[in-house]
């Protein structure tokens, strides 16, 4: 018997996230990968610098290294006795002399400053200075960037290109990272067909498979695609058992609503438990969370916009937490509404929209007219979601809260 809608607890998103994220257990297994292969991986331990960066005082400019005390009685003329290029180590600088030096070259012992070549007169290896030079001028001090023994990057950092450069600067060649999260995904529905094949009567192409696969890849997961499961309880149970034996997390699309052909929820309950079903959001209400043989399971709605939104609001954060990522919340900001929204809803709504600038140069958000959960093309065209609280309306010019979709597709 289908439970009447009014008797089902529809969970507010903050309550759901609190429960779900409290359930997330971060991976502990680590592996070492070459630095060149570490992009997008999550650090498995803190990285402590074993060297100073830079490893010695060096010149920030092309010019002349000298001892600032030799310029106190400027104007003075100093003989230039040596030339130091990047990669060379100069000789100790004698008092009353200077060294020709280039950007990045180590400062010779005895020197404490660099005067840039444009500020001096230089001829026949004799340097004329008309003004005193301050100690430390144009010098990048040893350890100025990173000091030996200091924290470089913390465990849980997802490595970006610039992080790889920082690791290289302290000599890290092999990086300790958490192993990739294994996520099993499948779609439910006899009406689904694969792109590239002709559609039979009553069929649609399985777009969710590719949206979800792309999202999992974008979040650094090693995902296993179990394809389309037939709309029977037996087939669904068999696939869930197979996937749970191989994966850390299971994610499905479709089959979690209340129809007679929706078997996923019942199959999960026969193998484990459903801990949450239905969120007080639009789109994305029919989301299920539970466990299959102890393995976390998320059942996303079949409508493509609903699947995308519920993945971003809920599943994404859970996957980040399981991967040990330090930051798991999505970011929001406030912008001017470039639209009117007179519809006071009974659920929190996430409207697909575009960011831009109004005539005054202020950042604004506009929303698409058709917000149906079956409209996938609007997700493709959108770059933000506008958050409309329960029972809220807005008029053009009001401040509204937005979520950038770039965060969801570029972890």
Strand spans (E) along 105-212: 113-116, 121-123, 126-129, 139-140, 151-153, 174-178, 182-188, 192-193, 204-205
DSSP-derived letter for residue 390 is: T
Collapsing DSSP to helix, strand or coil, 222 comes out as strand
CA distance 8 to 267: 19
pTM of the model: 0.83
Interstrand relation of 295-300 and 249-253 (parallel, antiparallel or unpaired): parallel
Asked if residue 66 belongs to a domain, the reply is yes
Residues 192 and 301 in one domain: yes
User: Are residues 166 and 35 part of one domain?
Assistant: yes
Above pLDDT 70, what percent of the chain? 95
- Helix (H) or strand (E) run with residue 12 in it: none
Q: Tell me, what's the pLDDT at 409?
A: 80
Tell whether 205 is covered by a domain: yes
Residue 327 lies in a domain: no
pLDDT for position 258: 58
For residue range 236-289, what is the model confidence (pLDDT) as tens digits? Answer: 999 999 999 999 999 999 877 655 556 898 999 999 999 999 999 999 999 999
* Cα–Cα distance, 258 to 249 (Å, whole number): 23
Do 120 and 68 belong to one domain? yes
Last residue of a domain, one of 272, 304, 322: 322
From start to end of 93-169, where are the E strands? 98-101, 113-116, 121-123, 126-129, 139-140, 151-153
Closest of 278, 277, 281, 259 to residue 268, by C-alpha? 277
Q: Which residues contact 397 (CB under 8 A, 6 or more apart)?
A: 336, 337
- 271 in a structural domain: yes
Instruction: Name all contacts of 405-410 with Cβ < 8 Å and 24+ positions apart.
Output: 405/312, 407/330, 407/331, 408/215, 408/218, 408/311, 408/312, 408/316, 408/330, 409/214, 409/215, 409/218, 410/218
> Mind listing the pLDDT tens digit for each residue in 291-322?
999 999 999 999 999 999 999 999 999 999 99
In this prediction, residue 260 carries a pLDDT of: 52
Residue 280 sits in the same domain as residue 204: yes
Domain CATH code at residue 41: 3.90.105.10
Structure tokens, 325: 């990522």
- The mean per-residue pLDDT over the stretch 4-28 comes to 84
Chain centroid to CA 382 = 19
Alpha-carbon distance of 236 to 292, in angstroms, equals 12
pLDDT in tens, 123-146: 899 999 999 999 999 999 999 999
With a cut of 60, say whether residue 392 has pLDDT above it: yes
Q: Alpha carbon of 205 to those of 18, 262, 373: distances in Å?
A: 35, 18, 16
Cis peptide before 75 (omega within 30 of 0): yes
Residue 112 structural domain: 58-140
pLDDT at 1 over 50: no
């Amino acid at each position: 018997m289908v439970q009447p809608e009014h008797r089902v607890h529809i969970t507010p998103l903050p309550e759901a996230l609190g429960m779900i994220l409290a359930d997330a257990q971060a991976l502990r297994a680590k592996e070492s990968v070459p630095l060149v292969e570490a992009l997008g991986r999550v650090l498995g331990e803190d990285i402590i610098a074993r060297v100073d960066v830079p490893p010695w005082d060096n010149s920030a400019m092309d010019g002349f290294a000298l001892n600032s005390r030799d310029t106190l009685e400027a104007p003075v003329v100093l003989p230039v006795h040596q030339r130091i290029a990047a990669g060379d180590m100069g000789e100790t600088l004698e008092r009353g002399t200077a060294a020709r030096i280039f950007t990045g070259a180590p400062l010779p012992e005895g020197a404490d400053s660099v005067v840039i070549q444009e500020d001096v007169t230089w001829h026949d290896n004799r340097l004329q200075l008309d003004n005193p030079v301050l100690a430390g001028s144009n010098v990048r001090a040893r350890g100025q960037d990173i000091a030996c023994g200091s924290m470089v990057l913390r465990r849980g950092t997802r490595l970006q290109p610039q992080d790889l450069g920082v690791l290289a600067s302290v000599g890290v060649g092999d990086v300790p990272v958490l192993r990739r999260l294994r996520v099993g995904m499948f779609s439910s529905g006899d009406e689904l067909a694969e792109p590239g094949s002709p559609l039979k009567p009553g069929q649609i192409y399985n777009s969710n498979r590719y949206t979800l696969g792309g999202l999992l890849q974008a979040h650094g997961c090693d995902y296993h695609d179990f394809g389309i499961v037939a709309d029977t309880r037996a087939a669904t149970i068999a696939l869930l058992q197979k996937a749970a034996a191989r994966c850390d997390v299971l994610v499905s699309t479709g089959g979690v609503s209340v129809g007679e052909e929706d078997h996923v929820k019942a199959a999960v309950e026969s193998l484990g438990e459903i801990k949450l079903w239905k969120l007080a959001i639009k789109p994305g209400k029919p989301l299920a969370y539970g466990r299959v043989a102890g393995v976390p399971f998320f059942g996303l709605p079949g409508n493509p916009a609903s699947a995308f939104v519920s993945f971003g609001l809920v599943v994404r954060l859970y996957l980040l937490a399981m991967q040990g990522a330090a930051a798991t919340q999505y970011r929001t900001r406030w912008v001017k509404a470039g639209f009117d929204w007179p519809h006071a809803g009974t659920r929190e709504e996430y409207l697909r929209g575009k960011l831009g600038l109004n005539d005054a140069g202020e950042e604004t958000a506009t929303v698409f007219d058709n917000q149906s959960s079956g409209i996938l093309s609007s997700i493709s065209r959108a770059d933000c979601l506008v958050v409309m609280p329960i029972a809220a309306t807005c008029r053009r010019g009001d401040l509204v809260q937005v979520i950038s979709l770039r965060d969801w597709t570029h972890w």
